[in-house]
Structure 1
Amino acid sequence: MFVLAVLFFILNLFSRSSDVSAILNPTVRLFLSTSLSLFLPAMSYLFSEAKNASGQMAELSVRARTILMWMLLVELLRKKVESILVTGGIQGYSDTVNRASRVGWLGSLVFFNLRGTGKKALYGILWVLAAAKLVQRFVTVELGKRSFAYGRNPQLLASYMTQMLKLQGQDNHGPAGLDVLKRCNYAVIGEEELKKKAGPKGYKLDELEKAISEANSSTVVTVGKIWTYAEKDPMLHRNPKLKQLCLSFALCKLLRRRLEEFPITDAEASNCHELVFKGLWQQRMDGEDAIQVFSDELQFLCEYYHSVHPVVFASPFFFVHNYILFPIIAWAFCILMLILTFAYEEVWEFIVFLLSNWFMVSLLCSHASTPKWRTLLRRIIPFIVSVQNTMNHPSVFFKQFSVLRFSRLSLPLSTRAVPKEAKTLIMERLARVSHDAPLSNGMAVLLSAKHRLSIQSHELSWACESDSIAEVILTWHIATVLLEATYRRQRGTRPEDGREAATALSGYCAYLVAFHPKLLPDDKDGTELVYADMKKQLREEMGGWWGYYRSGESDRYTKLMKVARARQEETTVISKGARLGKVFIDRYKDDARERVWKLLGDLWTEVMLYVAPTSGELHMKAHKEALAEGGEFITVLWAIVTHTGIARAPEPAEAPLRTISIAG
């Protein structure tokens, strides 16, 4: 019990010390939920044994009462590892039934085994708190499922977007920059308040034109209203990230429809393409800020599907009912027995709720639409922002993997912030995507005239001539890490253009191949086979299984360079990557250094974007599952290309099979 208490304490106090988050690491959640699922049966058995040992005593023994106390306290803490499933379906009801059966069982132990009035009152208060938290969460989730603002929002928003785009028309040749954002009618909040009538093709929304056109209308708060109001509001003008947060929230609601089988129409994708590249991108926004908009969007999605705190329902109304009225009633019981566990849990949940982006968007919309609140909110919002900036890291991070460095099973993967250079290259390449410049697996970069390195095109293009994107990634990854290991950047010197982007994206793409093959467009089994073959080849070069796991970076570098010099005709991933790396190392002269890294930076940007668009429903489902782990950077890019309608060029159709007629 002491170990369990320490785990919960560390989980609450230290695991989020650098970031306030409403989601829990899925590995930690699985471990704790599995442990707690075994806890009640085991402790019930021990309670029964302790009760039987008491014999015919008038009251339970101290040991039995201690076990019962722990069972009640753990039930109060259990919600820390249970996500709030607003769209849980049958699984959500199953979890509710399990929780109700546990609370019911604990109630029977309390009220049918304790005889003393004082003891029954003490334990009864703990049981009432556990039951109250169960009822509170059940009512909140059920109301959310039936609400057009939460559970039923995707189908409502699908009708809203269709009718809204028809009203405003499609003008892709209008003004750019700030005007595009001021004309944006994407709903931030309030669309559920519109009068609606169900029809054969969705909901018909009455008075939609009036709601989105009137600047002072409080029914629907749109992105355009926020951006227009920001020009005259000092607080929003000083901190443009606040209005960008509202845009992230609006985009999150649009992307959520795609995850719940409501497709994004071509008209909407075209409109969003204009919003991103004519609005955001031409509003003097650098790549880092633009990427942060979509990163915040993915954070909203993560918290919607995998939150353990009710930030999804963040609003001043919910805040009053859930965190003022309910705690008053609960504290009336808790203060009698000084139940610090419950107090701590409420305080932490309050902090997470108060600092969540959901609550911030709600406050901003109230600030923009309710004049009588503005004086108060102008004091509250900057304070919350300052606390958020202190506790949160706005940068986007991703994992790094290297075939040179990863040599032991227990070696943890490093985490690296996505370089600003990589974000800028990504947004610049996305802005150039067109019919004449489609995404490729890197071949287009090699054939580009600006990347000539006194190398014939066939000396590099063979490295992209593969149907497997995993093979292309691993080949170029090996070449990149060999070049980086050969010519390390001296500390204190400015890196060459493209170097940081190339090394970071190379490590992340290799990480996707090794640990998240489902997020790549190729078949999962095929990707795993390519990676398994690469590991097998590397083990053979390192001298077997033992040599593979004991080898260090320098050993692997030496062996791979030997492969590059001795095996010019082999077509394995290891030999191809080593040969390609040797080509760059041989051309890496003082005058070509900048061009080498610029080529690699653009190539890895191309490869990164090539794998981002959805290749099928299984691929889209993999992105949805990745949200359980907090989301991946590739999912941020997937969100951008999904919103803007950017896709890979269609693959050439296979030749039809010939029909052979056999005469009798």
Structure 2
Amino acid sequence: MHAGETIKALLVSLRNSDDAKLARTEFQVVLVGILVVALFIMDAYRFCNNSFVRKTLAILQTVTNPLVIYTVGLIQNITTFGNQFISIWAVLLYILESGTEYLCAYSLTNFSMRRRVELKELLLTFFTANLIATTGSKFHWFLWVLWSMGPIMIIYKLISFELARESYSYGQNSKLMVEYMKNVFLQNQHAQPDPIGMRGYKYLVRGEDAQEIRSQAPSFQVELNITNQRKLITLEKVWNCPGHLLTTLDQKLSIRDVCLSYALYKLLRCQMIELSLPRKCQDMTQKLIFEGVLHGRNDKRVFNIMEMQMAFLMDYYYTRIPIGVWYGYPLIKFVTLLVTVVFGCLLAFDVHKTEPQEDDLYHFIKGLNVDRIITYALLVSIAVKEGWEMILYMLSDWTKLVVICRYVEGSWFLRNRLAERIILLLCRSNVVKRWHNKMGQYNFLESFNYKPWVKQALHYGTLHIIRKPIEGGKVGKNIKIFQEVKQSIVDALVNINDDNLMNSMPPSLYNRGIRNSNRWACKQETFSHLILVWHIATSMCEIQLFEDTRPERSSSKSFLYKLKTCWMKPHAFIVDLKSLESNTSSHYIVANSISRYCAYLLVFVPELLPDHILASEQVFLGTITDARNILGGCHSLGSVLAKLKSVEGGTEGMEGNQAITIVQKGAILGRELLADLEMNTENLWKMLADFWVNLLLYLAPSSMTEVHKSHLFGGGEFITLLWALFSNCGIFDRADEENQERANSIVVQEREPVNQVPANGAAGGEGQGTVNQVPANGAVGVEGQGTVNQVPANGAVGGEGRGTVNQVPANGVAAGHEGQGPVNQVPASGVVPGEEQVTDNQEQGEAGEEQQDEIEEPNNIEQWDDSKEQELEIEEE
């Protein structure tokens, strides 16, 4: 179509004639068809971390259904024109749009969204049926058959939704998993698990629905009574399957890892809805990950398992129903696909034979019937959409999981060489990426002068619909996570395992490898201070490396250089990696990418960091102000580096000195690192790489599951992968270095103490156990042989058995210990209720003499509160 004809068609559409009405309807049909196809294509990127793609997808999901309903209404008004193709458009748009409804982001627990989507589907179904019934189209038999596919799939999805929601293999699985894991460990208390051969790992994969589920009085707890052993698939059974596929063809464990990822995903779901798994289960999972998955330090396998686990989790929370649990989906989808394609082809053939009558209203351009072309385009779009849905289903991780489990069950039609080759090919094929594999970036020294006045105007002009931009927060381009970064993470995880993690990260993990002269920079007020100080220092080292390695260019070559580089893909870093040695390049990539990623987390997603979000914002904004005061007038990275090098100050009295700003501390640290003659370039970047890797791992554990869950819709952050890994291991917090040192100095009866209950804390344990790290206002009860250390302020730990309560600070309460054990040193205003034979050593000198080798005494015993002392109910032995 020429430009003149296009303008003419637009002018015609503005008139109120029959021609104009038909032109407007044609335009509306084409527009809606394009939007629906775009929505379907963009579904492959629904977990992309690009904000533009996510917002575009959200807009398409919002406007598509209303536009289709509006278009069907337009078609209803022009059915008297005698155009036989108009009613076909309404049905084809209905079929095309209804196929995208399963893309809507709601889970089994999101009933409000579910109701809205169902209502929209029913409205559109009714309007389309009414149009077919009232138009009297000559194609009505074809249209009724095609229309019926929509209600069939709607009813089927509603039934599947309810079945999945009530299913113990999916919707109710977490409650069942907790009870099952408790019973498994009670039955196998003395078994020694093998994390490589999976012996003893009876983690459920599939088959719960094939067993007897019972709930009996008085507890009414859900119990799994195994009645069909063949259908119950566990990790141990998968790894010990004698089939040729898993013993010979799966040497890289890629097939079995699908089941492993799914089993870990089920355990993680329990953690996300705050259902506590047995401590031994978390210990076994920790052993499985650190001694099994990390065995061999294969970063590709480790991250493949983590990404697959995250993909299962994202499908559970942010897709309508994972198609792996749709009952009978392959059969019903194949039937609907076959019917749609066959009747679509018959309809297309009939449309091709239909010639317009004299009184009928059609549009022709250069002899071509525009309405017929639109009909063909819609039919082709539906065929492609149905085929694409089938491909997505066949190559999804859910299908792979079902097929592998059926193979492990011993299904006869899968235990042959041809079927095994097909399964192997299926498991190695991926149509859509499981995870975006990118990390955000932010460079403070490049962005501190950023003033987003345009975005601020849009923010206020749209009444805060557009998010308010951050002063000095110019986000960098997301970069692909380098293989060097993944390998460094894996190596660091292996090294962490040597620390006997228990339920918290080792204290000051990021201190390792830092020279003594630079350790002052690791002792900051908050993690926000720590990140910014080291990020500024790392950026200074990067600028210096750029100055040292950039080639000298003469003026005669500068034009050719610019002409060449203008067509090159922009680099993630300012330093040319080719100019560096291999080891230096690897360390530089790791240190710089993670440094910028941690800064990105601080500025744009501070809720994922341990500091309070308001504290992080205030620290960052204060640092921006300081940077503008210190670095004002600097217009290049070279001038910024020179200015930072000239910042006055030294490391004397640096600790605890709040008068020195973050920018000054970063400048002093960067100057020290660059001036250290004992470190060459490779060693410098190795130290920085080790620091940033360890710091990222130290920041990852968290008990804020809802925050990480909310970020899954955008694909999840890189730190979310690490959080999921630590959560599976039962690691939700970080050990404080000072408290850890004090805890290590305390030895209690039978070497299983209850250590350090801070202010207003209460500690106890059942059995011979130690109490470890309960957050503020938290209450932890431990059964069996467990360790609980460091109960913070207002934390309460109750239990029974032999235990010793040591070092209860001011206002502390150590309670709930039944049995023999001394209670030592309760400071001022402390209350220690106990039962049965308990010894109260109230005098510091006596306690120090009797337990010199066991306990380190505080010096505030004289601060006893007499009123509190009267409340003690202790029987002295």
- Alignment of 1:206 with 2:295, yes or no, is no
Give the letter for the 1:105 counterpart. Answer: F
Segment drifting more, 518-527 vs 245-254: 518-527
- Alignment of 1:178 with 2:200, yes or no, is no
Aligned-pair Cα RMSD in Å:
3.8
State the shift of 1:269 in Å: 0.8
Report the Cα distance in structure 2 between the residues aligned to 1:333 and 1:408, rounded to whole angstroms: 59
- Alignment of 1:468 with 2:526, yes or no, is yes
State the shift of 1:378 in Å: 0.4
Work out which of the residue numbers 326, 331, 335 in structure 2 matches 1:321: 331
Report the Cα distance in structure 1 between the residues aligned to 2:107 and 2:638, rounded to whole angstroms: 48
Segment drifting more, 363-372 vs 323-332: 323-332
State the shift of 1:623 in Å: 0.8
8 A Cα contact 2:258 2:401, kept in partner: yes
Report the Cα distance in structure 2 between the residues aligned to 1:387 and 1:635, rounded to whole angstroms: 25
Q: In the alignment, which residue of structure 2 is the partner of 1:91?
A: 113
Work out which of the residue numbers 501, 504, 516 in structure 1 matches 2:605: 516
Q: In the alignment, which residue of structure 2 is the partner of 1:214?
A: none
State the shift of 1:123 in Å: 4.9
Question: What secondary structure sits across from 1:566 in the alignment?
Answer: coil
8 A Cα contact 2:208 2:232, kept in partner: yes
Tell me the alpha carbon deviations over residues 538-580 of structure 1, each in whole angstroms, 9 at most, x when there is no partner. 4556659xx9xxx6xxx24522541442354863333332332
Give the letter for the 1:360 counterpart. Answer: K
Q: 1:374 to 1:464 in 2, by over 3 A?
A: same
State the shift of 1:434 in Å: 3.4
8 A Cα contact 1:230 1:236, kept in partner: no
Work out which of the residue numbers 637, 641, 648 in structure 1 matches 2:734: 648
Q: 1:444 to 1:347 in 2, by over 3 A?
A: closer
Work out which of the residue numbers 208, 211, 215 in structure 2 matches 1:191: 208
Work out which of the residue numbers 315, 328, 336 in structure 2 matches 1:303: 315
- Alignment of 1:362 with 2:402, yes or no, is yes
Q: 1:249 to 1:471 in 2, by over 3 A?
A: same
Work out which of the residue numbers 478, 483, 486 in structure 2 matches 1:420: 486
Work out which of the residue numbers 141, 145, 160 in structure 2 matches 1:140: 160
Q: In the alignment, which residue of structure 2 is the partner of 1:348?
A: 388
State the shift of 1:309 in Å: 7.1
Report the Cα distance in structure 1 between the residues aligned to 2:402 and 2:177, rounded to whole angstroms: 18
Work out which of the residue numbers 397, 400, 404 in structure 1 matches 2:438: 397
Report the Cα distance in structure 2 between the residues aligned to 1:541 and 1:128, rounded to whole angstroms: 71
Report the Cα distance in structure 2 between the residues aligned to 1:252 and 1:579, rounded to whole angstroms: 45
Task: Among all aligned residue pairs of Structure 1 and Structure 2, give the percentage whose two residues are the same amino acid.
Answer: 21
Q: 1:81 to 1:536 in 2, by over 3 A?
A: farther
State the shift of 1:312 in Å: 3.6
- Alignment of 1:599 with 2:687, yes or no, is yes
Q: In the alignment, which residue of structure 2 is the partner of 1:31?
A: 59
Tell me the alpha carbon deviations over residues 425-447 of structure 1, each in whole angstroms, 9 at most, x when there is no partner. 33224313436996368x4543x
Question: What secondary structure sits across from 2:202 in the alignment?
Answer: coil
Which is greater in Rg?
2
Report the Cα distance in structure 1 between the residues aligned to 2:451 and 2:260, rounded to whole angstroms: 43
Q: 1:152 to 1:474 in 2, by over 3 A?
A: same
Report the Cα distance in structure 1 between the residues aligned to 2:679 and 2:524, rounded to whole angstroms: 31
Report the Cα distance in structure 1 between the residues aligned to 2:637 and 2:48, rounded to whole angstroms: 40
8 A Cα contact 2:701 2:723, kept in partner: yes
Segment drifting more, 525-534 vs 189-198: 525-534
Report the Cα distance in structure 2 between the residues aligned to 1:72 and 1:371, rounded to whole angstroms: 40
Structure showing greater relative contact order (alpha-carbon pairs closer than 8 Å, 6 or more residues apart): 1
- Alignment of 1:628 with 2:713, yes or no, is yes
Q: In the alignment, which residue of structure 2 is the partner of 1:559?
A: 640
Tell me the alpha carbon deviations over residues 383-429 of structure 1, each in whole angstroms, 9 at most, x when there is no partner. 223433x8758994323332245569787622222423322233224
Q: TM-score, normalization: structure 2?
A: 0.63
Within 5 Å, which residues of 2 pair with 1:51-200?
51=77, 58=80, 68=90, 72=94, 75-79=97-101, 81-83=103-105, 85-112=107-134, 114=135, 116-118=136-138, 120-121=140-141, 123-169=143-189, 171=191, 174=192, 176=194, 178-179=196-197, 181-199=198-216, 200=219
Q: 1:45 to 1:345 in 2, by over 3 A?
A: closer
State the shift of 1:195 in Å: 1.2
Within 5 Å, which residues of 2 pair with 1:223-622?
223-229=235-241, 233-282=246-295, 284-307=296-319, 310-313=322-325, 318-338=328-348, 339-372=379-412, 373-375=414-416, 376-388=418-430, 396-405=437-446, 413-418=477-482, 419-434=485-500, 439=505, 443-446=508-511, 448=512, 450-452=513-515, 456=517, 460-487=518-545, 488=575, 489-491=577-579, 493-496=581-584, 498-539=587-628, 555-556=636-637, 558-559=639-640, 561-568=642-649, 571-587=660-676, 589=677, 591-615=679-703, 619-622=704-707
Report the Cα distance in structure 2 between the residues aligned to 1:15 and 1:590, rounded to whole angstroms: 54
Report the Cα distance in structure 2 between the residues aligned to 1:45 and 1:325, rounded to whole angstroms: 30
8 A Cα contact 1:502 1:597, kept in partner: yes
Q: TM-score, normalization: structure 1?
A: 0.81
Report the Cα distance in structure 2 between the residues aligned to 1:393 and 1:270, rounded to whole angstroms: 28
Q: 1:66 to 1:197 in 2, by over 3 A?
A: closer
Report the Cα distance in structure 2 between the residues aligned to 1:81 and 1:218, rounded to whole angstroms: 35
Q: 1:312 to 1:86 in 2, by over 3 A?
A: farther
Segment drifting more, 230-239 vs 592-601: 230-239
Q: 1:521 to 1:437 in 2, by over 3 A?
A: closer
Tell me the alpha carbon deviations over residues 557-605 of structure 1, each in whole angstroms, 9 at most, x when there is no partner. 5225414423548633333323322222222x58433332232222212
8 A Cα contact 1:564 1:579, kept in partner: yes
State the shift of 1:340 in Å: 2.2
Report the Cα distance in structure 2 between the residues aligned to 1:175 and 1:161, rounded to whole angstroms: 14
Report the Cα distance in structure 1 between the residues aligned to 2:580 and 2:524, rounded to whole angstroms: 39
8 A Cα contact 2:36 2:64, kept in partner: no
Q: 1:194 to 1:461 in 2, by over 3 A?
A: same
Give the letter for the 2:303 counterpart. Answer: I
Segment drifting more, 184-193 vs 6-15: 6-15
Q: In the alignment, which residue of structure 2 is the partner of 1:637?
A: 722
Question: What secondary structure sits across from 1:204 in the alignment?
Answer: strand
How many residues of Structure 1 are paired with residues of Structure 2 in the alignment? 616
Report the Cα distance in structure 2 between the residues aligned to 1:499 and 1:632, rounded to whole angstroms: 22
Give the letter for the 2:601 counterpart. Answer: L
Q: 1:425 to 1:66 in 2, by over 3 A?
A: same
8 A Cα contact 2:46 2:57, kept in partner: no
Report the Cα distance in structure 1 between the residues aligned to 2:705 and 2:208, rounded to whole angstroms: 27
State the shift of 1:621 in Å: 0.3
Question: What secondary structure sits across from 1:495 in the alignment?
Answer: helix
Question: What secondary structure sits across from 1:387 in the alignment?
Answer: coil
Report the Cα distance in structure 2 between the residues aligned to 1:633 and 1:590, rounded to whole angstroms: 34
Mind listing any 5+ residue stretches in structure 1 that lack a counterpart? 212-216
Q: 1:523 to 1:66 in 2, by over 3 A?
A: farther
State the shift of 1:506 in Å: 1.4
Give the letter for the 2:410 counterpart. Answer: T
